[in-house]
A and B are shown apart, each in its own frame.
Chain A
């Protein structure tokens, strides 16, 4: 059974930092690209970032480029998202999801339950 479990969300002040983690099991983590997708309260889905199965390739949405860093540790089946210089508009539930590719014709197969990040003073 596939399991994807995010953690690390919470309340942070504008300009602050937070590190999200995602532990996956039930599939061969090291052979899948991984992504973060977020959903602001009452809003739709927004792709945030992707990383290749080796970790050698990373991609970011324009809205987070230069502030967020995605990484992975295949020995621990874990995905990370380091979020710096957080803004109110980053407030959202952050989902971890695997995909069949890193860009182009890729789709998001398995999703975690999400972790809520709230940026507020």
Chain B
């Protein structure tokens, strides 16, 4: 059971927009700690996708965006492409555990 809760899977057709939620608690997201997102393509290492809720590292398309609301965060992917098919993980810090924590991951399928 992950500290941060993500849906196991989401799907969408090419060109559509999908969102992935990340729900935490007052010990992590609700305590004001940042949320970051990682993309893991099949058979590869994770890659930083979004940091500090909304910032994109150089090279990440602006089709990817992040947001926060209360004790939750969301990753939105617009204009879905086949190459977006991957696992997505949210990450934050939990003050009760004194540890960085990840969500369980969401598998995105492009139909």
Interface residues of chain A, those whose CB is within 8 Å of chain B, are 35, 37, 44-47, 50, 59, 61-62, 95, 103-114
Binds A, one of B14-22, B33-41, B72-80: B33-41
Q: When the two chains form their complex, are residues B45 and A105 in contact, meaning their CB atoms are under 8 A apart?
A: no
Between A and B, how many residue pairs show CB distances below 8 Å?
60
14 contacts between A and B (CB under 8 A): A35-B100, A44-B103, A45-B91, A45-B102, A46-B102, A47-B101, A47-B102, A50-B100, A59-B98, A95-B46, A104-B33, A108-B48, A110-B48, A112-B45
A residues less than 8 Å from B102 (CB atoms): 44-47
Neighbour of A47 across the interface among B52, B100, B104, CB < 8 A: B100
The 8 closest A-B pairs by CB, nearest first: A107-B36, A47-B100, A44-B105, A45-B102, A111-B45, A107-B51, A105-B34, A44-B104
Contact partner of B48 (CB less than 8 A), chosen from A95, A109, A113, is A109
A104 close to B57 (CB less than 8 A): no
Partner of B89, one of A45, A104, A105, A110: A45
Chain A CB within 8 A of B2 CB? yes
* Cβ-defined contact, B57 with A59, below 8 A: no
* In the complex, residue of chain B having the shortest beta-carbon distance to the beta carbon of A105: B34
Q: How many residues of B contact A (CB 8 A)?
A: 25
Q: Is the C-beta of B47 less than 8 angstroms from some C-beta in chain A?
A: yes
Contacts of A109 in B (CB 8 A): 48, 57
What is the bound-complex CA distance between A45 and B102, given in angstroms? 6
> Which residue of B has the minimal Cβ distance to A108?
B48
Residues of A within 8 A of B100 (CB): 35, 47, 50, 103, 106
Residue among A61, A106, A108, A112 making CB contact with B38, cutoff 8 Å: A108
- Using Cβ atoms and an 8 Å threshold, which residues of chain B touch A108? 36, 38, 46, 48, 91
| Chain B 81-98 per-residue mask, 1 if CB under 8 angstroms from chain A, else 0 | 000000001010100011
